[in-house]
Amino acid sequence: MSALVIVALVCLLLFLHPYTFYPLSIMLFPARPVRRDPSAPRPTASAVFAAYNEARSIPAKIANLRAIHELAPEIEFIAYADLSSDATLSMLQAEPDLVTVIAATERTGKATGMEKMVAMARGEICIFTDANVTLDPASIAPLLAYFSDPEVGGVAGTLLYINEDESTTAKAGGLYWRLEERVKQLESRCGSIMGADGSIFATRRALYPVVPPHLLDDMTTSMSVTFHGKRLVHATDVIAYEKSATSSSDEFRRKRRIACRAFNTHRHLWPAIRKTYSAADLYKYVSHKILRWFGIVPLALLILFGGAAMILAQLWYTLAVILVLGAVLFSLAVAGVQPFALLVEILKSIIATFVGVVDSMRGKTYQTWEPAKSRD
């Protein structure tokens, strides 16, 4: 029985590690501050984004680009319209003085669109964002200033969700993302972060890699800068805003798709990671990425081995109380009672991630995407 208890405790530690012990542990790593040079000339930049059926988001996006243009008129904007079935293309083409539009003739997916836009871009720095994301115009100056440090190859901004109060799903997504942003801050403090989110990040154009169309372009592009010996850092003074999905089913599908593409990307990048990463960076990668992808496994094993230990110890009353309590808490969650409903949404997210990893292992790929309807 003691062996089962030990295994259960190890599973508990593995499940909690990415969210608790890992952030605490990297606080002990020596700091590596970014050395921005305020006297350095601002590099040229191109901001790019792909859009598919984003007609409801385009007006706000255009207004945001104009606000950025007022503060940084030298930045060029390029959009890739991925054969939308709504008015996305025509709405973008109606702004020729502001945006250069690449119109797809077939559905290709975001990675292909990004490759085409980067090939057209003239800026030294490529700023990557999404069609449904708005960027604080005042963030452009600090974003580009990071590149005055020659060690910096990429910069990830800070994403804020603006509709957390609309549903439990949105609240769970916002809670998770605040933790994610905090972990990135700690990773950046001592070196590089383990990949950037596609909502807002920038890299040196010369470091842009070949991205197979079924992979996550943001993960591949951002992490590739570290293979060149450059840092990928997190910026708290570069702010972007986005609405998250409010439907639980929408969010499950999104998490599953992203996890599948992320694990496919992991397999593509792993040889370079293993070859170039230090022991500290490998620890970061395993803790931040791999243990999260497989998070439901130690949780399931914890329940299995913990239950087996109680059965062997004949703790029937304790086991019965736990089962009844679990059923009551689940019923409260289904009824929407907080914080139990929030915990169930978090559990769904963990399960969706693992299902996506299993999809990847079975050879499934996602090349194109559909915007979450509940996001609007």
- d(CA 22, CA 19) in angstroms, rounded, equals 6
350 found inside a domain: no
315 found inside a domain: no
Q: Which two tokens stand for residue 220?
A: 């591949």
11 found inside a domain: no
Residue-number span of the structural domain to which 38 is assigned: 24-290
94 found inside a domain: yes
Q: What pLDDT does residue 246 have?
A: 83
- For 38-97, write each residue's pLDDT tens digit: 889 999 999 999 999 999 999 999 999 999 999 999 999 999 999 899 999 999 999 999
Asked, as a colleague might, if the bond just before 339 is cis with ω within 30 of 0, I would say: yes
182 found inside a domain: yes
Domain count, the chain: 1
Which residues pair with residue 47 across a beta bridge? 77, 127
- For 140-182, write each residue's pLDDT tens digit: 999 999 999 999 999 999 999 988 888 888 888 888 899 999 9
- The CA distances from residue 199 to 87, 159, 160, 278, 320, in Å, are 22, 7, 10, 28, 46
Helices (H), 135-289: 140-145, 168-189, 217-227, 248-276, 279-285
CATH of the domain at 177: 3.90.550.10
Res. 107: pLDDT tops 70: yes
39 found inside a domain: yes
- d(CA 199, CA 159) in angstroms, rounded, equals 7
Q: How many residues does the chain have?
A: 376
Mean per-residue pLDDT, 321-339: 80
